[in-house]
A and B are shown apart, each in its own frame.
Chain A
């Protein structure tokens, strides 16, 4: 009986670890948002505009160099953002992550959100 329980627990935790390893942060972004095209992609004026908005609204937590504080406020120069599509990042800005301290920026005009995405992609 004991062996069966131990084998079951091993199997359960192995499955959990395998699921976590394969689960991307962006997996739960809806397909239409994931594929949404950035209207300002790679445009230099949008990078400059996004940098200004970033300085106003994001730098207070993520720091001016976007490297975070290595504790609760994550770096935005990361593998996670390099692997994200522009649509993923825009979706995340819109939703926020209230449970973990990231406010929703749905109140910011959509064009400004895309300008921030353009800036964030430019610093990767």
Chain B
């Protein structure tokens, strides 16, 4: 049931993206990471719409599919703003909306350096049934994901999350590290986590002819992420850690697809989590309204 509903969702996203040939699209510098952020921001004026899906099965529970719809807008060349809408389907239980996230990323330095920082600020309004695993912090584990939806959704989480994003570009490799601090605004201590990613295109050179499946359209890499405990217990005991190879494809007309099988490294982690990303970028959306205004 979960798989078929996700197939429909992915199919719908592909149909939507392929059905918009008249709209302008561009390929940004997006990397195929699911958890790690690089310092690359959205080009100013562009809107990127992406779905990130996570499929997994916690011990003692049924399979689930969680999806996050991400709307990312480039406000300025050094500032990107995002809205996430999260939901999930758990087999033999229910399909529910689990909340939203608002985030902003800024680049404080205007020039390129060996290590480039970006700062990330997020407000999350989620319920306890959220299973998207867009970050792993503190002592997050698969037991949190095994709680039945009816019970988990009663817990409301208002959280603030801060990330320090560091990125280097070394010989066409993108190397990014994230240090995460998250705080439940109602109670609970600060929780910490990390993410690390490295990715590069399969070919550095453009071939000079339009192509669909050429090497330059593919990126491959790996990411690792996990929790680092909290202020009450700053330890790696009972924390989750994952390692996940990545592959991304930039299809013609601005559509991007990515896939990553993630593998849990500790008993607290999920054994496996499969992630699928579908994205489409719209160029200079403010121009649409400007042109519409001129036409009137």
CB within 8 Å of B: which residues of A?
A: 45-46, 48-50, 52-53, 56-57, 60-61, 94-112, 115
Cβ of B235 to closest chain A Cβ, rounded Å: 36
Please indicate which of the listed interface residues A106, A110, A111, A112 has the most CB atoms of chain B within 10 Å of its own CB. Answer: A106
Taken together as a complex, chains A and B put the C-alpha atoms of A124 and B12 apart, in Å, by: 44
Do the beta carbons of A112 and B43 come within 8 Å of each other?
no
Do the beta carbons of B77 and A96 come within 8 Å of each other?
yes
Taken together as a complex, chains A and B put the C-alpha atoms of A65 and B204 apart, in Å, by: 25
- What sequence of 0s and 1s flags, for each residue 89-108 of chain B, a beta carbon within 8 Å of any chain A beta carbon? 00000000000000000010
**Can you name 9 A-B pairs with beta carbons within 8 Å?**
A57-B26, A60-B26, A60-B46, A95-B111, A96-B77, A104-B112, A106-B116, A107-B169, A112-B204
Q: List, in ascending order, chain A residues with CB within 8 A of B77's CB.
A: 96-103
User: Of B24, B107, B200, B210, which is within 8 A of A98 by CB?
Assistant: B107
Do the beta carbons of B29 and A107 come within 8 Å of each other?
yes
Chain A residue nearest to B210 in the complex (CB): A52
A-B contact count (CB 8 A): 81
Do the beta carbons of B206 and A53 come within 8 Å of each other?
yes
Knowing A60-B26, A60-B284, A101-B77, say if A106 contacts B112 (CB, 8 Å).
yes
Do the beta carbons of A61 and B284 come within 8 Å of each other?
yes
B134-160: which residues lie under 8 A (CB-CB) from chain A? none
CB within 8 Å of A: which residues of B?
A: 24, 26-29, 31, 38, 40-41, 43-46, 76-78, 107, 110-112, 116, 169, 172, 174, 200-201, 204-210, 216, 283-284
Given contacts A61-B284, A94-B112, A103-B77, 11 further A-B contacts (CB under 8 A): A48-B208, A49-B205, A56-B27, A57-B26, A57-B28, A60-B24, A98-B78, A99-B78, A105-B29, A111-B205, A112-B205
Classify the interface of chain B: helix, strand, loop or mixed.
Answer: loop
Do the beta carbons of B24 and A112 come within 8 Å of each other?
no
Taken together as a complex, chains A and B put the C-alpha atoms of A53 and B208 apart, in Å, by: 9
Chain B residue nearest to A59 in the complex (CB): B26
Q: List, in ascending order, chain B residues with CB within 8 A of A95's CB.
A: 111-112
Taken together as a complex, chains A and B put the C-alpha atoms of A14 and B157 apart, in Å, by: 61
Taken together as a complex, chains A and B put the C-alpha atoms of A97 and B200 apart, in Å, by: 24
Cβ of B20 to closest chain A Cβ, rounded Å: 15
Q: List, in ascending order, chain B residues with CB within 8 A of A49's CB.
A: 205-208
Q: List, in ascending order, chain A residues with CB within 8 A of B107's CB.
A: 98
Q: List, in ascending order, chain A residues with CB within 8 A of B201's CB.
A: 109
Taken together as a complex, chains A and B put the C-alpha atoms of A100 and B44 apart, in Å, by: 10
Chain B residue nearest to A46 in the complex (CB): B208
Cβ of A64 to closest chain B Cβ, rounded Å: 10
Cβ of A20 to closest chain B Cβ, rounded Å: 21
Q: List, in ascending order, chain B residues with CB within 8 A of A45's CB.
A: 208
Q: List, in ascending order, chain A residues with CB within 8 A of B46's CB.
A: 60
Taken together as a complex, chains A and B put the C-alpha atoms of A48 and B38 apart, in Å, by: 30
